Amino acid sequence: MHEVSHQRVKTNGIWLHMAEQGTGPLVLLLHGFPEIWYSWRHQISFLATHGYHVVAPDLRGYGDSDSPVSPTSYTVMHLVGDIIGLLDHFGEQQAFIVGHDWGAVIGWHLALFRPERVKGLINLSVPYYSRNPNAKFAESLIRTYGDGFYISQFQAFSWGNLFDRNREEQKGHSPAPPGMEIIDYLRTLSRLPPWITEEELQVYADKFQESGFTGALNYYRAMDLNWELTAPWQGSKITVPVKFMVGKNDLGFEVSGVRQYVEGNIFRSLVPNLEIVILDGHHFLQQEKHQEVSEEILLFLRKFPAE
């Protein structure tokens, strides 16, 4: 079998970089924040060896893909449009979609907007929520958690440049103490977790050194615009077959009633054809528990008859 290949594809008015391996039914792997295609490195080869055409793009704003400057270019309409363009590029009417974190958000909205293009959906870490008609998402989070919450901090446009190459343009809009940049204020672990090596971490560092973080943070800055644009789908359900995986030790699973929501009836009422798998892991499941996640993905894919 051929090794992982790389190419850039024009879709929805921008160029997306993608990693690709294998032949067979199309499986798109959508990464989250702050990642790139490389977060799926374990699943790419695993699924390709089991007879699938696996494609893992750098989403817009990340890695070697184009990174529009304006936050208004990062709505779910744009993000779903990018993925539709990839399906069209490969001449596929349908594909399996696997998403993690923001990739899961894209997966949910792709299934919401264009269910006929989704053969099956596997999402990690971020469940589907019905749109609250009375409160914009980011605004409600800021009211609940305050200005120190990370999503609150990400709203300031200049903060994205804290990680960018043009350091001289900084204006000090940072939650860190005066005179200190946020990247220097973060706690440094004494050692890496066992699921990632120094060499693997350097792959991410090198790419973000090139691209900066502005594109990645623009996803958060478009949250309330998403709320406005998705009003026509108020109350809609996800009708495609779904497997949802989450780590029981994920901080996001243990706060604000998320565990109760995932294990309760409301989630299942919004996603009627749903299977839930709770793994002994944290947030970056596809890396920390890569073998288990790969096998769970394969079990789901094999439920669908070969064409």
220 classed as catalytic = yes
Please tell me which residue in 66, 82, 101, 250 is annotated as part of the active site: 101
Separation CA 276–CA 104 (nearest Å): 14
Please tell me which residue in 78, 109, 282, 283 is annotated as part of the active site: 283
DSSP calls for 123-192: EES-------TTS-HHHHHHHHH-TTSHHHHHTSGGGGGGGSS-GGG-----SSPTT--HHHHSPPPSS-
With left for phi above 0 and alpha for psi between -120 and 50, is residue 64 left, alpha or beta?
alpha
Which distant-in-sequence residues (6+ apart) come within 8 Å of 210 by Cβ? none
Burial class (CB in 10 A: 0-12, 13-18, 19+), 236: middle
Tokens of 54: 């696996």
Separation CA 80–CA 229 (nearest Å): 13
Tokens of 186: 């973060």
> Pairing relation of β-strands 26-30 and 242-247?
unpaired
How many contiguous H segments (helices) and E segments (strands) does the chain have? 13, 8
Phi, psi of 224 (to 5 degrees): -75, -30
The DSSP output letter for 58 is P
CB contact at 8 A, 182 and 156: no
Please tell me which residue in 219, 220, 224, 290 is annotated as part of the active site: 220
Nearest alpha-carbon partner for 240 in 271, 210, 203, 268: 271
Residue in the block written with tokens 């005179």:
179
Active site residues: 101, 220, 283
